[in-house]
Amino acid sequence: MQVQLRILRYDPERDTKPQWATYRVEAGPMDRVLDLLHTIKAETDGSLTFRRSCAHGVCGSDAMLINGRNRLACKVRVDQLGTKISVAPLPGLPVVKDLVVDMEDFFAKYRSVKPYLVNDSPEPERERLQSAEQRARYDDTTKCILCAACTSSCPSFWAAKPYVGPAAIVNAHRFIFDSRDEAAAERLEILADEDGVWRCRTIFNCVDACPRGINITQAILEVSSAVARRA
């Protein structure tokens, strides 16, 4: 079938502002948006620019706004979208070129929540023990691939850019609820800030956007409850 693909393009060395370009591409129903982008880049315009790596939804490179929702281009198929598809860069982040956005602020926020295990107790000779139930407590938030689909779908983030955002909270959650970790209090203190968890308005855009199926709003609520309890 033929698919009409509209792509919001921007070349900072040529354009003053982004503009839509339209392409017609032959595609099958199981083709992914990433396949279509590759076809255009290989056959029509080599300057079409986007990030991609693993091409099967685990590296987090190719999140973009596809038919109005944040999705991974390698994980959404033509049969799920129809023959008219629009593709734009992730909203709310500065555009570098075409579908590439500046991720520096996103990763800086991730780093700000101490996203690593802290445990200064003496190490046992072998592994630390953890029950399957303790392990299950934070399983969901270990799936995050830092693609930024959630944070850049969040109206609270659009309205207040200093907001740490859903992805950073998810990664704080992953350690706050890990029975082996000892720095929950420090993370909760960081997230009690005015740009921390309280900016969440439970709009659920993040849940809808997450390509890993993480219940992000639930995770944020668990963290905000812990922040509230802390005092």
Contact between 132 and another protein by CB under 8 A: the answer reads yes
Residue 18 C-alpha from the chain's centroid? 22
Dihedral angle over CA of 65, 71, 76, 78, nearest 10: -20
Q: Residue 20 burial (CB < 10 Å; 0-12/13-18/19+)? A: exposed
Binding another protein by CB under 8 A: which of 58, 67, 186, 215? 58
Q: Which is nearer to another protein, 24 or 111 (CB)?
A: 111
Q: Which is nearer to another protein, 165 or 200 (CB)?
A: 165
Which tokens sit at 49? 């620019």
Which tokens sit at 33? 């948006």
Dihedral angle over CA of 20, 24, 27, 31, nearest 10: -10
The SS3 assignment for 59 reads coil
The SS3 assignment for 20 reads strand
Q: Which is nearer to another protein, 108 or 203 (CB)?
A: 108
Contact between 140 and another protein by CB under 8 A: the answer reads no
Kindly identify the residues of this chain, within the stretch 65-94, that bind another protein according to CB under 8 A.
75, 77
Distances from the Cα of 151 to the Cα of 77, 130, 207, angstroms: 23, 31, 10
Scanning 137-145, 149-157, 189-197, 215-223 for contacts with another protein by CB under 8 A, the matching segment is: 137-145
Least distance between another protein and beta carbon 201 (Å)? 28
Q: Which is nearer to another protein, 181 or 193 (CB)?
A: 181
Least distance between another protein and beta carbon 190 (Å)? 14
Strands (E), the chain: 2-9, 19-26, 63-66, 69-72, 84-88, 95-97, 100-101
Kindly identify the residues of this chain, within the stretch 164-193, that bind another protein according to CB under 8 A.
175, 178, 180-181
Contact between 45 and another protein by CB under 8 A: the answer reads yes
Mask 141-160, x = binds another protein (CB under 8 A)? -xx-xx--------------
Query: Contact positions toward another protein, by CB under 8 A?
Result: 11-14, 30, 41-43, 45-47, 49-50, 52-61, 75, 77, 96-98, 100, 103, 107, 111, 114-119, 123, 126-132, 135, 138-139, 142-143, 145-146, 175, 178, 180-181
